[in-house]
A and B are shown apart, each in its own frame.
Chain A
Amino acid sequence: MGAALSLAAVALAAIAAPFLPLWIVSLVTISIATGLVVVGLIILWRAGLVPFGQALFFATGAYAVALSSRYLGLKDAFLLVIIAAIAAGFVAWVVGFLLARYREIFFAMLSLALSMILYGVLVKSETLGSTDGINVSSATFLGFAPRGQAYTLAVFWLALGLAVAAAVFVSRYLSSVAGSLAIPIRDNEIRVEYLGISVTRLVHLKLVIAGTLAGVGGAVAALTIAHVDPAMAYWTTSGGFVFVTILAGAASVPAAFVGALVFEIIRTASVAILPGGWQLILGSVLLLTILFVPEGLGSLVVRKRGADKAKGETA
Chain B
Amino acid sequence: MSDILTVSGLEKTFGSVVAARDINVAVPVGQTIGIIGANGAGKTTFVNMITGHLTPSKGKIKFEGQDITGRTSRDITRLGIARSFQVAQVFPSLTVFENMCAAAAIARDGGGLIRAAAASLRSARTLEETEAALTQFGIARFRDMRASTLPQGVRKLLDIAMATAGGPRVLLLDEPTSGISLEEKFGIMDVIMGALKGRGTTVLFVEHDMDVVQRFADRVLAFYDGTVIADGPPAEALADERVREFITGAVLHRTKPTANGGTGHAQG
Residue of B whose beta carbon sits closest to that of A176: B117
Q: Is the CB of A196 within 8 A of B77?
A: yes
CB-nearest residue of chain A to B165? A195
Asked if B102 lies at the interface with its beta carbon under 8 angstroms from chain A, I say yes
Whether A181 contacts B106 by the Cβ 8 Å rule is yes
Whether, in the assembled complex, B105 has its beta carbon less than 8 Å from a beta carbon of chain A, the answer is: yes
Set A177, A183, A192, A201: member contacting B120, Cβ < 8 A: A177
B121 engages A188 (CB within 8 Å): no
Instruction: Say yes or no: A187-B92 contact (C-beta < 8 A), given A195-B102, A195-B107.
Output: yes
A192 to B162, CA, bound (A): 10
CB closest residue in chain A, given B144: A312
Q: Given A176-B121, A180-B121, A196-B107, answer yes or no on A191-B82 (Cβ-Cβ < 8 Å).
A: no
Residues of B within 8 A of A (CB-CB), count: 40
Q: Chain A contacts of B118 at CB under 8 A?
A: 176
Contact for A315 among B91, B106, B121, CB less than 8 A: B121
Contact across chains for A187 and B162 when beta carbons are under 8 A apart: no
Q: Considering the complex, which residues of chain A in the window 75-119 have a beta carbon less than 8 Å from any beta carbon of chain B?
A: none
A residues in contact with B239, CB < 8 Å: none
Q: How far is A198 from B72 in the complex, measured between Cα atoms in Å?
A: 10
Are the C-beta atoms of A188 and B90 separated by less than 8 Å?
A: yes
A132 contacts chain B at the CB level, 8 A cutoff? no
Task: Tell whether B103 is near chain A: CB-to-CB under 8 Å.
Answer: yes
Q: Are B116 and A176 in contact (CB under 8 A)?
A: yes
Interface membership of B83, Cβ < 8 A: yes
The A-B contact count (CB < 8 A) is 98
CB nearest neighbor in B for A201: B113
Given A188-B91, A201-B113, A177 and B166 touching (CB < 8 A)?
A: no
Contact with B along A182-208 (1 / 0, CB 8 A): 011011101111111110011001000
Contact A181 B89 (CB under 8 A): no
- In the assembled complex, which residues on chain A have CB atoms less than 8 Å from the CB atom of B166? 196
A176 to B91, CA, bound (A): 18
Task: Indicate whether B30 reaches chain A with its CB closer than 8 angstroms.
Answer: no
Q: Mark B76-111, 1 if CB is under 8 A from A, else 0.
A: 011000110100011111100000001101111111
Q: Are A184 and B107 in contact (CB under 8 A)?
A: no
Q: Write the B242-263 contact mask toward A (1 if CB under 8 angstroms, else 0).
A: 0000000000000000000000
A194 in contact with B82 (CB, 8 Å): yes
CB of A178 within 8 A of chain B? yes
Q: How many residues of A contact B (CB 8 A)?
A: 27
Q: Which of A175, A180, A202, A205 contacts B102 (CB 8 A)?
A: A180
Given A184-B94, A191-B89, A194-B51, is A178 in contact with B113 using a C-beta cutoff of 8 Å? Answer: yes
Residues on the B chain within 8 Å of A202, using CB = 113, 116
**Using Cβ atoms and an 8 Å threshold, which residues of chain A touch B110?**
177-178, 195-197
**Are B117 and A191 in contact, CB atoms less than 8 angstroms apart?**
no
Cβ-defined contact, B93 with A187, below 8 A: yes
Is residue B15 contacting chain A, with contact meaning CB distance below 8 A? no
In chain B, what residue has the closest Cβ to A199?
B74
Q: CB of A278 within 8 A of chain B? A: no
Q: Is A51 an interface residue (CB 8 A)?
A: no
CB closest residue in chain B, given A191 = B89
For A313, the closest partner residue in chain B by CB is: B144
> Does A173 interact with chain B (Cβ within 8 Å)?
yes
Binary flags per residue of B136-166, CB closer than 8 Å to A gives 1, else 0:
0000000010000000000000000011011
Q: A175-B120, A187-B94 known; A196 and B89 CB under 8 Å?
A: no
Q: Across the A-B interface, give the 8 residue pairs with the lowest CB-CB distance, nearest first.
A: A178-B116, A196-B77, A197-B110, A187-B91, A178-B117, A180-B121, A191-B89, A195-B106
In the complex, 19 of the A-B residue pairs with CB atoms within 8 angstroms, ordered by the A residue number, are A175-B122, A176-B116, A176-B118, A177-B108, A177-B110, A177-B120, A179-B121, A181-B106, A183-B93, A184-B91, A188-B90, A190-B89, A191-B91, A195-B106, A196-B74, A196-B78, A196-B166, A197-B106, A205-B113
